[in-house]
Amino acid sequence: MSVHAAPEEGDQPVVRQYSWCMPALHGTASYRKFCRTLDLTPLPDGYGVLLVADPRWGGRYTLATADAYFLSLLHHGLEEAGPLDGVSFPPGKFEYRSGWPELPPPTR
């Protein structure tokens, strides 16, 4: 799994980590446990995950998408920008979950 830290800035929501969680990278058992933790349906290609901190209210939440390619596109912008100030996502692109799960380590 790739885990990347984004820069911290201002008082807007900030992506603290983003990652890909896939059975091919983490093994079926770890991947299924991750999906159970977030109440996600296991998918053959896995999920792209954003771990977000919102300093406005001190909250942490997880955004998960089945569109790993979309997360790859975001990956480049997040390396440069960090905060989610003014960012909007297409409806239904991400599933929202409260808190941050433990991301499984890669099996390779």
Q: Is residue 86 situated within a structural domain?
A: yes
- Structurally, the chain folds into a number of domains equal to 1
Q: What pLDDT is recorded for position 5?
A: 43
43, part of any domain: yes
Q: Which domain holds residue 27?
A: 4-98
Look at residue 12 and tell me if it is in a domain.
yes
The two three-digit tokens of residue 20, written as one number: 């890909």
At 15, the amino acid letter reads: V
The DSSP secondary-structure symbol of 101 reads: P
Answer for the pair 51, 32: CB distance below 8 angstroms, yes or no: no
Q: Bigger pLDDT: 18 or 4?
A: 18
In tens, the pLDDT along 29-79 reads 999 999 999 999 999 999 999 888 887 777 899 999 999 788 877 776 666
Q: Is position 104 within any domain?
A: no
Q: Note the pLDDT tens digit of each residue in 14-27.
A: 777 888 889 988 89
Q: Is residue 63 part of a domain?
A: yes
Q: Find, among 88, 82, 66, the residue nearest to 20 by Cα.
A: 66
Query: Is the residue at 107 inside a domain?
Result: no
Residue 36 maps to a domain? yes
What's the whole-model pTM score?
0.76
